[in-house]
Amino acid sequence: MSRRLAAIAVLLGGVLAACSGNNPAVHFCDDYGDAVGKLYSAAGDYAVAPDQFHAVAASTMDELSRVRAGAPNDELRRAFDSAYFAMTVFSEDEGLADFLVRTDFAQDDVVKACAESGVELKPDAG
């Protein structure tokens, strides 16, 4: 009886591990949150550190191409494209920083799509 119980426990453990497997959105959402969180944080300091904001914005925009490639599904890719477009319409750093300061991080299209996929993103604390 103990062998049978042990076999059932092993089988149940395998089933539970398979059911609780990694959420494919986690890596993408975390990457996006890290990159864009830094941008939001730097935007808050734009008035005192515009050069730092420029550097963060440039590196973030470069990094976002890699991040998009990691989107595990069309829904997250569409959300990314929408959010990315919103960040690229500004020709000047000041306009982008102002937009980000006035924007609620929770309303970012990717943040909302990630939440629907079970991944909660929070803005970078600085």
Q: Is the pLDDT of residue 2 over 50?
A: no
Helices (H), the chain: 2-19, 25-44, 50-69, 74-88, 93-102, 109-116
Q: What is the pLDDT of residues 23-39, one digit of tens each?
A: 889 999 999 999 999 99
User: Distance (Å, rounded) from C-alpha 67 to C-alpha 35?
Assistant: 9
Question: Is 86 among the domain residues?
Answer: yes
Sign of the torsion angle spanned by Cα atoms 35, 105, 52, 78: positive
User: Distance (Å, rounded) from C-alpha 11 to C-alpha 51?
Assistant: 57
Question: Is 10 among the domain residues?
Answer: no
Question: Is 87 among the domain residues?
Answer: yes
Question: Is 4 among the domain residues?
Answer: no
The gap from C-alpha 31 to its chain's centroid, in whole angstroms, comes to 5
**Number of structural domains in the chain:** 1
Question: Is 64 among the domain residues?
Answer: yes
Question: Is 31 among the domain residues?
Answer: yes
Full residue range of the structural domain in which residue 111 is found = 23-116
Q: Is the pLDDT of residue 14 over 80?
A: no
Question: Is 111 among the domain residues?
Answer: yes
Question: Is 13 among the domain residues?
Answer: no
